Amino acid sequence: MEVHFTEWGDPKNPTIVGWHGLTRNGRDFDILARYLAKDYHILCPDTIGRGLSQWSTSPDKDYCFEFYSQLAIGLLDYLGIEKVRWIGTSMGGAIGIRIAGSTRYKNRITQLVLNDIGAGALDQDVQDIEGIKRIIGYVGDPPHFNTFSELRKYYKAIYAPFGLTEQEWDDFTRNSCRRRDDGGFSPDYDPKIALQFHHTEDLDLWGHWEAVQADILLIRGEISDVLPLDVADKMKQKNGCHLVTIPELGHAPALNTEEQLKLIENFLQS
C-alpha cells in the first residue's frame, strides 16, 4: 500500500520514527521534528486511512495493530533502516509497544517514547476506560462542516487537552481537513478506521509490554482519560521505564512546548 510520510534531518543521522494517534496524521510531529532535526533523521508517516496515505480496500482486515506494525517494518525495510528510536502518541505508542515487544522485531526499537498510552486496563475492560469510550463514540462518524472555521472550532473542542496555541490550532486544522464534494470540510481520515475496535486483542498489550527490552519514556497527561493513573503506575514498575506527568494536560500532550521538547531530547540522548 502507498504510505505518505514527512521526512526531516540528515538521513546519515540516527533515525526517529514519530507515529501519530488513531484519527491523526504524521504532521502532528512537525514542531518536535523541527526541534530534533539538527541531530536526527526523522520519519513521520501517515497510517493508512489517514492523511495522504492510501485508504484500505479491506478495512475490516487492515485497520488493526498487526497490519500497522507490518506496515511500519515494511517502510523501514524499504528505506534500509534497521534500528530506530520510536515516539508514539496514543495509537502510535501502542504500535511501538507491539513492535518492541515482538519476538521478530523487538531489536528494531532502541528507545521508546510513549505519549499518553497504556498497555491495557487493570480492573475493567479496556473499552470501558472513559477516554476509550469517548473515542469510540465519535471516530466512526466524523462530522461535516460548511467552513474551515467550524472544523477548527470542532477540533479545539474535542482535542482541547492537547494544549495548542492559536497559531498551532490553525496548522493543526489545515493539516487535518478534507474538502468534500459539496464544498464543505471533514476530518481527514477514513471513517472505517473505527473497525479497529472489532479487533479486541489490539487493546490488551500487557504480553508485548513485558517483552519490551528498549529504554522507555512514558509521558502521561495529568488529567488523561485514556491512560489511567493505576495503569501508568503499574507500567513504571518495569525496569527501564521512566514515567513523567505533564501538569494540567489530558490526552494527549502535543509535544509542542520547550519543557516537553527538552524532556524527549534528554531521554533520547541518555
Q: Is residue 193 part of a domain?
A: yes
- Does 64 map to a domain? yes
Q: How many domains does the chain have?
A: 1
pLDDT in tens, 142-199: 999 999 999 999 999 999 999 999 999 999 999 999 999 999 999 999 999 999 999 9
- Which backbone phi and psi does 115 adopt, to 5 degrees? -100, 95
> Which of 19-23, 70-74, 116-120, 202-206 has the weakest average pLDDT?
202-206
Cell of 76: 523501514
Percentages helix, strand, coil for the chain (3-state, rounded to 5) are: 40, 20, 40
Burial tier of 227 (Cβ tally within 10 Å: 0-12, 13-18, 19+) = buried
Cβ atoms within 10 A of the Cβ of 148, count?
Answer: 15
Residues contacting residue 127 through CB under 8 Å, at least 6 positions apart: 133, 136, 197, 200, 203
Asked whether residue 33 is assigned to any structural domain, the reply reads: yes
Cα–Cα distance list, 20 to 104, 134, 154, 166, 232 (Å):
23, 18, 19, 21, 20
Domain that holds residue 133: 5-142+189-269
Query: What pLDDT is recorded for position 236?
Result: 97
Comparing C-alpha atoms, which of 85, 88, 115, 110 is closest to residue 15?
A: 85
pLDDT in tens, 82-132: 999 999 999 999 999 999 999 999 789 999 999 999 999 887 788 888 889
The pLDDT score that the predictor gives to residue 16 is 98
* Residue 183 within a domain: no
User: What is the C-alpha to C-alpha distance for residues 41 and 264, in angstroms, rounded to an integer?
Assistant: 15
CATH of residue 78's domain is 3.40.50.1820
Q: What is the pLDDT of residues 25-71, one digit of tens each?
A: 999 999 999 999 999 999 999 999 999 999 999 999 999 999 999 99
Q: Report d(CA 40, CA 85) in Å as an integer.
A: 10
Instruction: Report pLDDT for 201.
Output: 83
Does residue 156 sit within a domain? Answer: no
DSSP string, 23-44: T--GGGGHHHHHHHTTT-EEEE
Contact 69, 99 (CB under 8 A): yes
> With pLDDT > 90 as the criterion, what percentage of the chain qualifies?
89
Is 52 a member of any domain? Answer: yes
pLDDT at 72 over 90: yes
For residue 124, the model assigns a pLDDT of: 78
| Mean pLDDT of the residues in the chain | 95
**Structure confidence at residue 8 (pLDDT):** 98
What are 266's three cell numbers?
534528554
Q: What is the pLDDT of residue 61?
A: 96
Task: Tell me, yes or no, whether 83 lies in a domain.
Answer: yes
Q: How confident is the model at residue 263 (pLDDT cuts 50, 70, 90)?
A: very high
49: left (phi over 0), alpha (psi -120 to 50) or beta: left
Cα separation, 188 vs 178, whole angstroms: 5
- Is residue 131 in some structural domain? yes
Task: For residues 206 and 154, give the distance between their C-alpha atoms in angstroms, rounded to a whole number.
Answer: 34
> What pLDDT, on the 0 to 100 scale, is given for residue 148?
97
Per-residue pLDDT at 255 exceeds 80: yes
38: left (phi over 0), alpha (psi -120 to 50) or beta: alpha
CA 267, 131, 219: angle at the middle one, nearest 5?
10
